[in-house]
Amino acid sequence: MCGIFGISGHDDAARLTHLGLYSLQHRGQESAGIIAVQDGKARGKVAMGLMGDTFGPDVLAKLPGRTALGHTRYSTAGASTIENAQPALVQFRGGHIALAHNGNLINATEIRDTLEANGSIFSSTMDSEVIVHRLARAMANRPEEQLAEALEGVEGAYALLVVVNDTLLASRDPHGWRPLAMGTLNGATVFASETCALDIVGATYVRDVEPGEIIAVDASGVRTLHMAGEAPLHRCVFEHVYFARPDSRVFGGSVHRARRELGRQLALEHPAAGADLVFAVPDSSNAAALGFSDESGLALEMALIRNHYVGRTFIQPTQAGRDAKVKVKYNAVREILDGKSVVMVDDSIVRGTTTRGLVAMVRAAGAREVHLRIASPPITGSCWYGIDTPDKKELIGANMSVDQIGTHLGVDSLGYLSLEGMLGSVPGGPDGFCDACFSGRYPTRAPTIAAKQRLG
């Protein structure tokens, strides 16, 4: 997954992009990059690691210009290497192109094969690079028309920010898989994956970039065009369940409200009669635990403490790294748990590794009974559209029944929210969401195996 941010029409474009990316850091921690444009010249830096680690005032001072775009990345297509860090920046016959992409393309391999057969030389293994090549070849006049031409036949999920010379372009795929919000700041136009990044720079939210829309911003103003064809909405429900920050609005709805409602619905579907208290696995399920408490009347406690200096466990590339990190990341509060029957609320279970470690930790801190409640259905398939879910064989929900999972995790009871309960709880639902990782209803063909082997 990734976070993207762009701004046009502000003297401090690079500095504001830097700030915006800080609040999109949760969307990707492997690499970060900023490109700024001044007088037709693009300058930038991409680096492995977190924003704060590599982008100091010295770097930003070397990135002048009133237009900038940036990216935080964790790899879902292509390896975690500096060649794959974004924004991508290339020179072509018409000037320069910089591109930042959130999402996964379905047919990148086929497009790449065709381009390579015609002589294109690729410099990365990212799916996104095919869009750069297509754009460099586009014959249309205006940059927004060039992007529309480049995106013709590109399937899958994309929220894109692109700079073609001095024009900033923003676009979402026609199904609207990934979020992209538009804001304004003292006459400048700002785009960000989530509204929390508009807040941090002081921008006012205007609206979402619409599915299938391309917005162009440059000195001559803001223009918009819609790509041809009608397409059903497939907004990613997992943005609301886990991925986005609760202080953001995505797809026009509050993430906090969505999660609180998911928790409320969870308590209706799977009450835990006789329990003494409820607590969250912080931070992503805080609002869901609050909703569970609202509905059940159980006291909300803070029984798990999270160390904020450790990144998301899931992002660790090896299993050994993940196991060790559970204890580094969380600790239990004995004073709350000792002798109690407790409800532990989490947003989702992926491999079960973290959850199993947490249940053991909660028991070791004295809990008498542990009732686990999950604010989404079992994840039974990996995401083809940009969330880093592992292969089906590693997904506990794809390989065990709910009873088996409960036994494996060592809980007294386990309740997952139903699919209907989840879709009915998110703003703008129940229709128009992609729930493929929960339901197996993939709205597209699979990305080819060859794509995974070659690009992964």
| Residues designated catalytic | 2
- Of the pair 225, 315, the CB lying nearest ligand AMP is at 315
Would you say how long the chain is, in residues?
456
Beta carbon of residue 290, minimum distance to ligand AMP (angstroms, whole number) = 16
* Contact between 448 and 438 (Cβ < 8 Å): no
Among 284, 286, 293, 382, which residue interacts with ligand AMP (rule: CB under 6 A)? 284
Any idea what the Cα angle at residue 441 is, between residues 408 and 152, rounded to 5°? Answer: 130
With the C-alpha atoms ordered 14, 18, 19, 24, is the resulting torsion angle positive or negative? positive
* Residue 174 near ligand AMP by CB under 6 A: no
Closest C-alpha to 410, from 362, 360, 376? 360
Give CA 148 to chain center in angstroms. Answer: 24
Residue 351 contacts ligand AMP per CB under 6 A: yes
Looking at 18-26, 213-221, 307-315, 441-449, which segment touches ligand AMP (CB under 6 A)?
307-315
Is the Cβ of residue 5 or residue 242 nearer to ligand AMP in the bound state? 242
Helix (H, G, I), strand (E, B) or coil at 50: coil
Site string for ligand AMP, 230-269 (x = CB under 6 A): ------------x---------------------------
What is the residue type of 255? V
Among 353, 366, 376, CA closest to 422 = 376
Binding segment for ligand AMP among 58-66, 152-160, 257-265, 350-358 (CB under 6 A)? Answer: 350-358
> Is position 349 an interface residue for ligand AMP (rule: CB under 6 A)?
yes
Q: Which of 75, 76, 84, 355 binds ligand AMP (CB under 6 A)?
A: 355
Q: Is the CB of 312 or the CB of 454 nearer to ligand AMP?
A: 312
Angle at 52 (CA atoms; ends 50, 55), nearest 5 degrees: 100
Q: Which is nearer to ligand AMP, 218 or 346 (CB)?
A: 346
What whole-number distance in Å separates Cα of residue 83 and Cα of residue 360?
41
Beta bridge partners of 45: 34
Distance between CA 371 and CA 366 in Å, rounded? 14
Looking at the Cβ atoms of 249 and 351, the one nearer to ligand AMP is 351
Q: Does 332 bind ligand AMP (CB under 6 A)?
A: no
Give the containing element (helix H, strand E) for 267. Answer: helix 255-269
Judged by CB under 6 A, how many residues of this single chain contact ligand AMP? 19
Among 247-255, 341-349, 400-408, 444-452, the segment contacting ligand AMP (CB under 6 A): 341-349
Query: Does residue 197 touch ligand AMP according to CB under 6 A?
Result: no
Residue nearest to ligand AMP (CB): 314
Q: How far is the CB of 310 from ligand AMP (least distance, A)?
A: 12
Place of tokens 């090549």: 133
| Terminal C-alpha separation, the chain | 14
Determine, following the binding rule CB under 6 A, whether residue 354 of this chain makes contact with ligand AMP: yes
What are 235's two structure tokens? Answer: 């907004």
Q: Is residue 30 near ligand AMP by the rule CB under 6 A?
A: no
Name the H helices within 23-162: 51-54, 57-61, 108-117, 129-137, 143-151
Which element (helix H / strand E) includes 292?
Answer: helix 286-296
Among positions 100, 262, 343, 387, the unique one binding ligand AMP when judged by CB under 6 A: 387
Among 13, 281, 344, 405, contact with ligand AMP (rule: CB under 6 A):
281
Distance of alpha carbon 334 from alpha carbon 210, whole angstroms: 48
Which of these ranges, 87-95, 154-162, 217-225, 352-360, lies near ligand AMP under the rule CB under 6 A?
Answer: 352-360
Binding site for ligand AMP (CB under 6 A): 242, 281, 284, 312, 314-315, 346-355, 387-389
